[in-house]
Amino acid sequence: MEVLKLVYRLPLWLVGYAVSLVLYLLGWLVVPTLSLLHRVRLVPRPDGSIAEHWRDGWAYPWDNDEDGVAGPAHSSSPPTQKWVERWRSRPAWLRRIAWALFRNPVGNERHIPLLSLVLDRNLIEWIGNTGNPHWSWKYGKRGTQWCWARQGWYSGLWILHGWKNGKYSEIRLGWAVYPGFLRLIDSFVGMKITLHILRSE
């Protein structure tokens, strides 16, 4: 029965990925153009730093409500902080292209109705051996951790294998729905396609 419920939702994955692909390809025109024309507005962050956002409302899908179009000033995530330090001294126009086109393309897709959903842990149903494969790996579990979760018609598959050398491989498909979810800032989720072969964080 659970397999049938997954099969029923696969057409919605295909539609979601098709729309995401169109938005991504349009971003190759939108992001460099707006960046080179400096079509940005400056918005103060709670930590005192300044975030850059696109000035034009129609460009909302290619913006990022949390980090802006040039990335965060600093991050608690080691990979993101490494990116921040590497790009901090680069020209602003190039930093915007690097973040909004390559590092975090179509960043606001998860806030667009129908393409995203607001997670409600009371409505999430799931099968698997963990509610959050990454947490399981981070806190010492090795071997294959997996979770297929759904909320209404939206569903996501997350498989992670932790290796004995401390690295992991993972694949995520569908919407970023999973029950081991806590951070309210990510309560809006969109499509996810992730593939890591050997990663340490």
Does residue 169 share a domain with residue 78?
Answer: no
Q: Average pLDDT for residues 170-184, to the nearest whole number?
A: 78
Question: How far is residue 199's CA from residue 184's CA, in Å, rounded to a whole number?
Answer: 26
Does residue 81 share a domain with residue 20?
Answer: yes
> What is the token pair recorded at 189?
């989720």
- Look at residues 85, 111, 137 and tell me which one is the last residue of a structural domain: 111
> pLDDT tens digits, residue range 73-98?
777 777 778 888 888 889 999 999 99
Does residue 105 share a domain with residue 146?
Answer: no
- Look at residues 80, 111, 142 and tell me which one is the last residue of a structural domain: 111
Residue 54 phi, psi (nearest 5): -60, 140
Does residue 105 share a domain with residue 22?
Answer: yes
Does residue 99 share a domain with residue 32?
Answer: yes
Would you give the distance in Å from CA 85 to the centre of its chain? Answer: 20
Does residue 124 share a domain with residue 96?
Answer: no
Does residue 159 share a domain with residue 135?
Answer: yes
Q: Please provide the size of the chain in residues.
A: 201
Full residue range of the structural domain in which residue 173 is found: 117-199
> pLDDT tens digits, residue range 33-60?
999 999 999 998 887 788 999 999 999 9
Residue 160 phi, psi (nearest 5): -135, 135
DSSP string across 58-120: GGGGGS-TTT-SS--S--SSHHHHHHHHHHTTS-HHHHHHIIIIIISTTTTGGGSBTTBEE--
Torsion sign (Cα): 132, 133, 136, 139 = negative
Question: How far is residue 149's CA from residue 189's CA, in Å, rounded to a whole number?
Answer: 13
Burial-class residue 141 by CB neighbours within 10 Å (0-12, 13-18, 19+): middle
Does residue 121 share a domain with residue 107?
Answer: no
Q: Check pLDDT > 60 for residue 178.
A: yes
> pLDDT tens digits, residue range 94-146?
999 999 999 889 999 988 888 888 888 788 888 898 888 888 888 877 889 99
Does residue 49 share a domain with residue 127?
Answer: no
If one counts the domains in the chain, the total is 2
Q: What is the mean pLDDT of the chain?
A: 86
The pLDDT of residue 2: 60
Does residue 105 share a domain with residue 63?
Answer: yes
